[in-house]
Structure 1
């Protein structure tokens, strides 16, 4: 303890659930939440990893807390700070800072009601190795219910990210390929044929008839002639143009809200809160 106007009350619990319940009870009795600290260093008489990281800090805290009342006791064989520190290292500590002696007594009473450990008795058990964690757990469960039970309620919140992406909404594909179509036209074609007509005659012949003569006649025919010329009849251009438009996107983001309903002010609650310690 410090002076009359500033009191520090320490309670050590075997489980964090007991410490949390004790803190809830303190807050319900109008103790300011900011004046209550909860720190877990172990569980059921076993030193935890958190203590190994803060052992020097915890030792200094108890040395300052007990101050002049920290002398070595020949009967006990240890100092008050050693006992508190040794017990705190294996449990959860609830520290309550009060402004008056009356508040300190009230806080100590609440911590005791939720199972705060007696430093001297427990430290002796740790020293002579008579502490039985399993038996102690059973006793706590018989008295306070399942002190190891902890339930976790997840608080969820959705974040909504609104952006944009490209999606295919349509398109045009233009292909060219060669097809053949039959073309038909009827023509009248002329053919020539040479003929020789011999017919018998009987008339006098003169000198003029006795000459060498050659008559040559050629046959001619018309034939169909096909010629083709390719001409460009149409040009097709394929491209795209870009427009822009505004669109308002509306979405809902979900999150969970937690309502805590306290039923009864004096009944122990074996869940929620943090760690701390107690001193008579």
Structure 2
């Protein structure tokens, strides 16, 4: 908690005391592609006993993407990383610049920024390959990612586990109230998805996996030039599904139907353990 207070206080002070000239210089450097990755980048994330399906997927995406891009960072486990994050979700990346922190709590925005600085994984792709990648990333965003959230907060067989996990380390009655508020927030913001029959959500997830599996074929990567954002994002979501071994995890059962998904694991796990 002391770390959280210190970081939050530091962030507020930095935002209030930003040197205008430094900020201008930094933005100009970023715009012209001269951004220099800082040596003290930190990824803050929840402890594993508090991570839900979606949290695991986002953490794996961020960590593997940064390592594949050869961008050094340290990790810091914080019990309230979701409350510290500007988006309210774990993890988030903090880059300590000369006079102010640069914080990314949305993976897509970080990727867009890094690609604009020629620091990401897509710079080597041709225009047609980029379009192909974006089309399949859209499948992950619209078919796979929503299913993870649904299984977390809408599936009757998993919601109690989610409440217990999300309320871990909180005292009673907060360990019940806070997760239920999170469930209500999900239902309010995603009512169309929340009100769907579970079978329909699982069918969409299976169709998305089928399309991605056919595109991958017998290869371990989607493109011959090496690891790309699509490889990282898909693997992170699949690994999140596989990591929860509860009998009620229907997503895991679906993923296991696609043998070629399992073949890509060593490529990413090597980066995760780097």
Pairwise same-fold verdict (TM > 0.5): no
Greater fraction helix: 2
TM-score using structure 2 length: 0.22
The answer to which structure, 1 or 2, has the higher relative contact order (CA under 8 A, 6+ apart) is: 1
- Per the normalisation by structure 1, the TM-score is 0.22
Largest Rg, 1 or 2? 1
